[in-house]
Amino acid sequence: MKLFSRERPLDSLFLVAVLLLVGIGIVMIYSTSSILAEETFQDPNFFLRRQLIAAALGLMVMYLAMHVNYEVYSKLTLPLLLLSLVLLVAVLIPGVSPIRGARRWLVWRGFSFQPSELAKLAMILYLAQSLIRKQDKIRRFKEGFLPYLLVSGVMIVLIFLEPDLGGALTLGLLVFLMLFAAGTRLSYLICAGLAASPVVFYLLASKEWRWKRVLAYLSPWDYAQDAGWQLVQSFLAFGRGGIRGAGLGDGLQKLFYLPDAHTDFIFSVVGEELGLIGVVAVVLLFGILITRGIQVSLRAASPFGTYLALGLMAMIALPALINMAVVMGLLPTKGLVLPFLSYGGSSLVINLLAAGIILNVSARSDS
């Protein structure tokens, strides 16, 4: 097995979609964050500069991943899985300063890293490698389902304790999707989902702020001054944008009306400043990304490549679909960023790494 291998041309359409999304993200981050950065740090370029650094690092990582034989990653599964678990525990250690009440980041010299992003990648590698070895046992509960439930369960609990219920649920969906694709009995998945439902409901109802988010989702205008504020401001942003938008940089909701405008709700500002045209463009780019990613997984030269590409594509697609649904009021508010567009170095670097691996799978495909 060669370390550096690229036998066929890369999937150029997938690559172009990724680069365009990153470019749109950088422009929108500057548009949404410059006033906030000036007010908070007396530097309008604060968030832009950090995102540019993350983008540069991510693009270098993606370029390297495009040329490294993806089969190499099967040997990194256990070290990455153990490292992820250690880092997920590390953020929960007393003494780690919480950010906005959550312990999701490890901070060093002004730079932060979110271990849950690495944990998703590690879980995908673990599943991709293990599902191949257990393909003949995948329909057995004790050997083909329970081990994955336990390993992923540990990670899901650690992520939830940060607390990050949205991230925990996303990882759970990712695991279930890969197990379903591998041929796990549907009855096992349904029973596990039914068993988890009361737990999720309890977790939502046990915290007043979580339950208010559910109520605000059901009737946002009744909670417009409280839990529904963010969602209502998102609606107003989309409404003001119309077809052609208010103009790049001319949005009003980012002026301290819409919280998290440069992170979780950046898609709302796209709708306000670039209008329906900008929204459709972003949706189409993600559509291209997801479609081509699925095609790459189906054409992979090995089962490991199939599971790896499918898992990595789901890692990008699930948060993207959930985020866009949330800001449009189709799902309750969750703290999930929009891949490639939202501010956040950890997410951007890991997603670009994932894109690079998918591109390498495409370059070694059967057709």
Note the pLDDT of residue 100: 57
Six token digits for residue 132: 């191949």
Note the pLDDT of residue 105: 81
Q: Which residues of 170-204 are buried (b: 16+ CB within 10 A; e: fewer)?
A: bbbebbbbbbebbebbeebbeebeeeeeeeeeebe
Six token digits for residue 124: 């995908």
Note the pLDDT of residue 44: 94
Note the pLDDT of residue 101: 56
Residue 229: which region, alpha, beta or left (left: phi > 0; alpha: psi -120 to 50)? alpha
Note the pLDDT of residue 247: 94
Distances in whole angstroms, Cα of residue 257 to Cα of each of 140, 184, 261, 337: 52, 46, 9, 19
Note the pLDDT of residue 96: 57
Q: Model-level pTM? A: 0.94
Note the pLDDT of residue 156: 94
Q: Which residues of the chain have pLDDT under 70?
A: 1-7, 95-102, 110, 366-367
Cα 312 from Cα 362, distance rounded (Å) = 13
Contact of 119 with 166, CB cutoff 8 Å: no
